[in-house]
Amino acid sequence: MLCIKNVRKQTTFAAVMFQLRYFIVLLIVFVQTEAQAQGYVDQANVASIINCQPVTDSLQPVQWHLYRYDDNIDSNGKGRYTEFLDHIDSLPGVYYNYRRYIVELANRTTCDHLDTGDTLLIPDSFPEDYRAYSPYPFNYALADTLPKLFIIDKYTQTFAAYEYGILVRWGLVSTGNTNTKTPAGRYNFNWKSTFRISNASPPGERWELPFMFNFHINWGLHVHQYSLPIGKAVSHGCVRVAMADAVWNYYWANGTIWGKNTVERNGTPVLVINNNPPKNRAYHWRRTANNQPESLVQLPDDFYTLPAGTKMQEQADWLSGW
């Protein structure tokens, strides 16, 4: 029913089993922590939505409108949540019965954390391509000569992946809970593993990192799947993403090519940009004075205003990534 066109065919049976296992774990984690912050991403239910990001020339951004979360029609006896569902299901497009998750991701809160009177940004329609909801530009001219570029924006707690300057995927992240734990800079993807136990796991615990791709060997910084707060930076330095995004990046990004005690070619370039959001509450949209949505993503005009994140960028050009 839902678009899964660009799920990588290389995904093995073992990979699928990893996904199923961690979806179950995530459901348990969500139940235990739903009273905290603004909720956690429902990774199982959003997987088919965020996997639908095919690269086409006809992509158009959605238009948005404001919706007051309230019992707006007293006479119908439905209540605020049912009215909200009726409203989003009355709009054109696809993803019926899944639209609430798109609204949650856009507003960076889960429905169980909504209060009467909250104002939500709602798409005017629900197109199939999840890139249509992106705060990132579809074309990033500075990257138009790069085969691949992975961007982590700490301010909005989002990521974007580009191929020759064209947006091919975006999603939510949770980075280090302080700016120093996931420092801004230029990195490259190095090595990967379908499953890893973190060396930083405290005694008696196992921090399991499925589909991880390292971008700082000395500090052990990785992009990987884990429980994902919908709008907060909470990690110890790694970059948490949803399972569907971790699997996708595992097969999309390229690792470092090593020579004898040196780097012959760096892996896919990674940019970590900006600082953590104020009060550790991330959004990727804001409303302008005339109540129109405006992206909070600010991409650099020059890659080299960001420092080299590791010594590897001194051994081989950062842009030698592929």
- Report the run of H or E that residue 153 belongs to, with start and end: strand 149-153
- The pLDDT profile of the chain, 322 residues, written as one tens digit per residue, is 446 443 333 345 445 454 445 444 443 333 333 334 489 999 999 999 999 999 887 889 999 999 999 998 888 888 999 999 999 999 999 999 999 999 999 999 999 999 999 999 999 999 999 999 999 999 999 999 999 999 999 999 999 999 999 999 999 999 999 999 999 999 999 999 998 766 665 577 666 779 999 999 877 789 999 999 999 999 989 999 999 999 999 999 999 988 887 888 889 999 999 999 999 999 999 988 787 899 999 999 999 999 998 877 777 777 767 7
CA distances from 130 to 18, 148, 252 (A): 24, 19, 18
Q: Do 208 and 297 share a structural domain?
A: yes
Does residue 6 belong to any structural domain of this protein?
no
Last residue of a domain, one of 102, 132, 162: 132
pLDDT tens-digit readout, 298-322: 999 999 999 998 877 777 777 767 7
Quick one: 187 and 251 in the same domain? yes
Q: Is residue 4 part of a domain?
A: no
CB atoms within 10 A of CB 294: 9
CATH code of residue 283: 2.40.440.10
Give the C-alpha separation, 44 to 244, whole Å.
9
106 & 201 share domain: no
**Within a domain: 1:** no
What is the tally of structural domains in the chain? 2
Structure letter (DSSP) for residue 281: -
Domain co-membership, 96 together with 116? yes
Same domain? For 204 and 310 the reply is yes
Specify whether 185 is located in the same domain as 292. Answer: yes
- The three-state secondary structure class of 24 is helix
- Structural domain includes residue 3: no
Furthest CA-CA distance within the chain: 75
Inside any domain, residue 98 = yes
Distance (Å, rounded) from C-alpha 277 to C-alpha 253?
Answer: 27
Both 199 and 181 in one domain: the answer is yes
Instruction: Quickly count: other Cβ atoms within 10 Å of residue 288's Cβ.
Output: 8
Same domain, 228 and 314: yes
What's the domain range around 31?
13-132
Spatial distance between the Cα atoms of 141 and 163, rounded to a whole number of angstroms: 11
Out of 106, 132, 158, pick the residue that ends a domain. 132
- Read off the tokens for 131: 């890139």
Do both 239 and 304 map to the same domain? yes
Flag whether 68 is in a domain.
Answer: yes
Instruction: Provide the 3-class DSSP secondary structure of residue 46.
Output: helix
Three-state SS at 61 = coil
Beta-carbon neighbour count of residue 254 at 10 Å? 18
Residue with tokens 């939500």: 120
CB 253 within 8 A of CB 267: yes
pLDDT digits (tens, 9 = 90+) for 121-149: 999 999 999 999 999 999 999 999 999 99
Q: Pick from 132, 157, 183: which residue ends a domain?
A: 132
3-state secondary structure of 297: coil
**Model-level pTM?**
0.87
- CB-based contacts of 212, cutoff 8 Å, min separation 6: 192, 193, 196, 222, 223, 224, 225, 238, 246, 250
Q: State whether 202 and 143 are in the same domain.
A: yes
Is 2 inside a domain boundary? Answer: no
Measured from the Cβ of residue 17, the count of other Cβ atoms closer than 10 Å reads 10
